Every structure is written in structure tokens, then in C-alpha cells.
Amino acid sequence: MRRPDLLPAGEWAPAGSGESDAEVFRRSDGTAYAKCAPAHGIVDLRGERDRVKWLSSTGIPSAEVLDWVAGPDGACLVTTAVPGVAAADLPPEKRQKALSPLAAAFRALHEVADCPFTRPLGEVVDQAADVVRRGAVNPDFLNDAWRKLRPETLLERIKAEQPYAEQVAELVVCHGDACLPNVLLDPETLEVTGFIDLGRLGLADRYADLALTTAQLLDEWDLPADEFLRGYGLEEPDRRRLDFYLLLDPLTWG
């Protein structure tokens, strides 16, 4: 991977990739990460920068912005490294005990007030429609049953359920991509040390986050989500909304 021109001075090693063809680098001392985007990804990366700045001011554990460099050919966002390990990498013997702090962390995030960012459901559905129209749905994001159907059929299901989802929506500060790799925990105490990858953060129905997290708990941790949902405060979750947002999310990446 070629070193982007906008990457700050110092020793950096590749650490994966992000959305919009962004490249992620980790500083050699482990204290910072840099996400570099080409010209067409500047707007999205600037939006992520603003969300990181805002969330770090609320008391919710997250990264902080260290630097921002932009030019005609791209931009680079440098943030502090959040300590801990990704929830996705937590050893199996610790996962059950991590459910309670994980639920508490999402509840705390969802209770933050005065969020300046929004993610209207109509815009998300339009985004899914665009991905489907372009034939860009990634089948790896779909379960076995969904892969047997045309993406257009899946989108029709979403649009049929959209009025219900809008009617019962409870708008809170949602992470927007609430999968286990985006939540870090202290490997000893199992307390959440921070949320990362905040490009989709904004006001949305709480179930947009809960659907992704509960699905990942089953798929990645092999744990049913009931205890997590109870810890969050939902004794009788709306399964219809969980299903709706679980289907919607994979149609928005492409």
C-alpha cells in the first residue's frame, strides 16, 4: 500500500480499509490512527471527523481528533487510538460477562442529548435503493435465506415495512454501524472503552443499532441476544423492527 501524501510525518503501518475507498493506518507507537480518503471521499470523511469531535465532547468513550489535513486530491483524519480490544476479538470465555457492560454502553450512547447529526430513515432507504439499482449489494452481507432472493425483492420488503418503522421510531443517538468490531472493551474489566468508526452516527431509531448488535452476538459470539436486550432495558423487544433494520443494513453498503 502506497503511503498517501497527506499522511502526517512519522512511521505508519497499514491497518485495513474503510468506506469510500479510505485507507487506514496505525502509528508505530500505537497511539493514533489515520484514515485517508481520495477526493470523492472527502465529504464523508469530514462528516466522520465532525461526529468524532462531537461524541468525544459528550462523555461517551470514543476517539478524539488529533489532526485533519485536506487537499484537492483527498483528506486525512487522525484520531487517538482507543484502548482495549475489539468486542469481536474477545475470548469466548469472557463473552457472557461482557453482555451487561455492552448493553449499558449502548444505553448510555442512546441517552445522549442534543445530537446535531441525523440519519433519516427515508434517506437510508433511498441509499439502499441506489445500491440495489447499481447491482452493488454484497452477497456476503446477506444470510442464506436472503441470498436466494433478488435484491429487488428484499428492497420491496423494506419499503413495505417502512411506514410501520417510521410510525413507531424512537429517535436516539445511534452509532449507525453497531457491529462488534466497532466497540472496544477493556479485556480485564470488560467495560466498554470506546466506540469507533462513527461515519454513520446520528439520530435514528434505537433499533437500527440494536438489530445489528443482537445479530452479531449470535453470529460472532454464539450467544442469544435476550440477556443483552434485557440489560439494555427491553424485556419485550419489537421483533418486527429488529427484522426490518437487520435486512435494511446490508442493502446500504455498496
> What is the reported pLDDT for 6?
85
Among residues 5, 21, 130, 177, the one annotated as catalytic is: 177
Interval 95-137: pLDDT, tens: 999 999 999 999 999 999 999 999 999 999 999 999 999 999 9
> What is the reported pLDDT for 21?
77
177 is catalytic: yes
Separation CA 48–CA 132 (nearest Å): 24
| SS3 category, 174 | strand
> What is the reported pLDDT for 16?
76
> What is the reported pLDDT for 17?
64
Burial readout 19-48 (b: 16 or more C-beta within 10 A, e: otherwise): bbebbbbbbeeeebbbbbbeeebbebbebb
Please provide residue 141's backbone torsions phi and psi, each rounded to the nearest 5 degrees: -90, -5
CA dist 42 → 62, 78, 197, 252 (Å): 22, 14, 15, 19
Task: Kindly list the structural domains of the chain, giving each domain's residue range(s) and its CATH number in brackets, ordered by start.
Answer: 12-80 (3.30.200.20), 85-252 (3.90.1200.10)
> What is the reported pLDDT for 103?
98
Which stretches in the chain have pLDDT values below 50? none
Please provide residue 64's backbone torsions phi and psi, each rounded to the nearest 5 degrees: -125, 150
* Residue type present at position 150: R
Enter the pTM of the model. 0.95
Q: Are 39 and 29 in contact (CB under 8 A)?
A: no
